[in-house]
Amino acid sequence: MPRTSAVECPGCPPLRALTTDALGLIKVVEVHGNPGILKVVERWGQPDASSGVLAASYADDKIEPLLAVARKNGFVEILNSLNGESLCNTHTKQFGLSDTSRQDDHVVGLHLLKTKGINLFSRVATLLLCTENGNACLKSIPMSGALHDSDIGSQMSFNVCSAGKILCSSLAKSENFALFGGKGVEVNTWDLGNCTRIWTAKSPRPNSLGLSPPPWFTAAAFLSEEDHRKIAAGTNNHQVRLYDTSAQRRPVMSVDYRETPIKAVCPDLHGYKVYVGNASGDLGSFDIRTGKLLGGFTGKCSGSIRSIRKHPELSVIASCGLDCYMRVWDTNTRQLLSTAFLKQHLTNVIFDSHFSYEGPGGNRHDQPSAIQVHDDDSAGNDESVEDEVLPSSRSSEASKMSKRSKTKKLDQEELPTSGNGQVYETTGMNEIKKRRSKIARQQDGDDGAGDTATQSEVEDGEKSSEKHGKRLKPKKRKVSA
């Protein structure tokens, strides 16, 4: 069952994201409205455990954005991220990376060169791949609709490690440098121009017992877009290390974060933050200048975080992992903005920076508000309102006139008198007085309770009942034997 949270999500700004999972599905998640909630709008592929996505890369082009995915069965596929059309599907055997006798040599690093590796006119894309055993390759492959005489280019293969297992890799913004690291493999950077290693990290200094832990890197990334010499890496020993390749080989800063291995590292390319996620679902941000933990993100995840991605323009980040949830957070307040349950174990999340949403019917701000529309309608229908009010006022005046006429009629009634003009207190006279007082009380209570009995009538009734001592009792019904 999915984990439920009591944290209220205020919603996030309009955005578009793509997620990959362990069953090979690619899902498109969008937010419509400002603020809005995450909703799945498209799903590409068929669920198959053998075609699970291990690595993904995105070329955020405005005309034709491309998405490259490396699957568990050894195939590398390039898709159009707008409609999910498959443009290329190639097996790693054609890259010279996988041997038929080694089925466990999966692709762990996949990078689609964006600035100089994609030629939309000749329909050629350049990919950088790396497997667990350290076999790396830089090759251009044709996509659907490629020209027959297009220049595919030569393949460049190299090995990034002689022993150990590669677990993480990253590509610099300039696409001239790449870094690799893993279990038993120190972080090292390579120049892709001539495929040579230019720097290798060194283990931290031994502790008081003279022991130094073996290298085991689980996540790594370049910190800056302009400078490829700053590196952030996460280890299996729940450490976050910062390297400066121009200064020294050992880490310039090393901090511990919780108690579980670091699984995802994402730098803020325009600032001085780095976002870290671990195997227990904790997500936090560090200041790379001081190494201080700025804080954790509210709304704890219930599974291992496998991918963190910063939006290129908005101040939000997205995370996904083994709890099958995609979450969007505010980088300033570290508040959870929205979540989406996607049913499968997620492996990657990617943002589409060129997505823009305008509500149906154009810009909503141009339309008058509901209050303004209501005021305009009421201003234009003043005459109809008066016509509706006048009949009710006239009817009330007519009822008052009828009551006054009844009072005059009672006044004109002759009272019984004696010969010398003295009025006798007869039963008829008492009835006339009662009728007059009743009509007067009704006229006084027209503005208040209408036709209902007034408070004075209730009090008079109570006094009269107390005076005469009469109380209404329910009649007893005789029952025949």
At residue 349, the pLDDT reads 98
Q: Which of 131-140, 372-381, 456-465 has the lowest mean pLDDT?
A: 372-381
The per-residue pLDDT for range 78-128, each reduced to its tens digit, is 999 999 999 999 998 888 775 544 667 899 999 999 866 566 566 788 999
CATH code of the domain occupying 166-203+213-296: 2.130.10.10
- Are the C-beta atoms of 131 and 97 separated by less than 8 Å? yes
More confident site: 173 or 453 = 173
Q: Is the pLDDT of residue 477 over 80?
A: no
Q: What value does the mean pLDDT take over residues 193-215?
A: 91
At residue 454, the pLDDT reads 45
- Confidence grade of residue 452 (pLDDT, cut at 50, 70, 90): very low
Q: Which of 153-157, 178-182, 257-261, 321-325 has the lowest mean pLDDT?
A: 153-157
The per-residue pLDDT for range 126-154, each reduced to its tens digit, is 999 999 999 999 998 888 765 554 455 56
Sequence-separated (6 or more) residues with CB below 8 Å from residue 459: none
**Phi then psi dihedrals of residue 89, to 5 deg:** -140, 105
Residue 253 and residue 251: Cα distance in Å, rounded? 5
At residue 9, the pLDDT reads 87
Residue 341 and residue 4: Cα distance in Å, rounded? 10
- Which amino acid is located at 348 in the chain? N
- Are the C-beta atoms of 67 and 26 separated by less than 8 Å? yes
Sheet with 196-200, edge to edge strand ranges: 165-171, 177-183, 185-191, 196-200
At residue 225, the pLDDT reads 84
At residue 328, the pLDDT reads 96
At residue 46, the pLDDT reads 95
Q: What value does the mean pLDDT take over residues 424-433?
A: 56
Q: Is the pLDDT of residue 76 over 80?
A: yes
User: In the predicted model, what is the mean pLDDT of the chain?
Assistant: 79
Q: Is the pLDDT of residue 1 over 50?
A: no
Residue 159 structure tokens? 């090995």
Q: Which of 287-291, 389-393, 428-432 has the lowest mean pLDDT?
A: 389-393
Q: Which of 330-339, 436-445, 452-461 has the lowest mean pLDDT?
A: 452-461
- Are the C-beta atoms of 181 and 166 separated by less than 8 Å? yes
Is the CA virtual torsion 58, 60, 61, 64 positive or negative? Answer: positive
- The residue extents of the domains of the chain are 166-203+213-296
Q: What value does the mean pLDDT take over residues 64-74?
A: 94
The per-residue pLDDT for range 201-210, each reduced to its tens digit, is 999 888 888 8
Q: What percent of the chain has pLDDT over 90?
A: 54
Residue 206 and residue 131: Cα distance in Å, rounded? 31
